[in-house]
Amino acid sequence: MQKPTKTNWENLVIETERAIKLLDDKLQNPFRIIAAKKLKQLRNTNHHNATHKRQLHVLKQINQRITNNNAMITRTDKGKTTVIIYTHDYKEKVHTFLSDNNFRIIPKDPTSYDHRRIQKALQQCDRIIDRKQIKFLTQNPNPTHT
């Protein structure tokens, strides 16, 4: 819904006043107050809707340009800054970081082995930790792979 023109608002106010004048004299002022509040609320709602639609349109355009240019939005590694970077450059930076810091691919996921060792150690600590509480101290491992 677009923001109504000045003429439409004037007509709405005139018609509202005309309807209020048909009421009993004692009821006219309270209804004027109610009508003024509702008209103000309606005007503000229409303005916010138009602003919201414009913002959505701009966001869609930005997203389309990012997609068309093979880029992505990501956070910087330090601070709370958001950047737009080409996907190729991002992948290259990640690869460089991993290789410069001696990361390596391991042949087998050690999560389940470590989980079993932790469970076994907790079972052996039955004098320190109640057996009924052990199940609340660990979770089932669920590593994510990307």
Of 106 and 43, which is predicted with more confidence?
A: 106
Residues 114 and 141 in one domain: yes
Residues 40 and 83 in one domain: no
Q: How many secondary structure helices (H) and strands (E) does the chain include?
A: 5, 2
40 inside domain:
yes
Residues 12 and 63 in one domain: yes
Residues 59 and 83 in one domain: no
When divided into structural domains, the chain yields a total of 3
CA dihedral 101, 105, 108, 113 (to 10 degrees): 10
Specify the pLDDT at position 100.
Answer: 92
Over residues 49-74, mean pLDDT: 86
Specify the pLDDT at position 3.
Answer: 54
Indicate the pLDDT class of residue 86, thresholds 50, 70 and 90. Answer: very high
Q: Which amino acid is at 122?
A: L
- Please answer whether residues 141 and 112 qualify as being in contact, where contact means their C-beta atoms are separated by less than 8 angstroms: yes
Q: What is the mean pLDDT of the chain?
A: 82
Residues 20 and 56 in one domain: yes
Q: Which residues span the domain enclosing 84?
A: 71-100
Residues 83 and 44 in one domain: no
Residues 61 and 85 in one domain: no
Specify the pLDDT at position 74.
Answer: 87
62 inside domain:
yes
Residues 57 and 94 in one domain: no
27 inside domain:
yes
> What is the CA angle 123-129-135, rounded to 5?
60
Over residues 47-66, mean pLDDT: 81
CA dihedral 44, 50, 51, 53 (to 10 degrees): 140
Specify the pLDDT at position 143.
Answer: 62
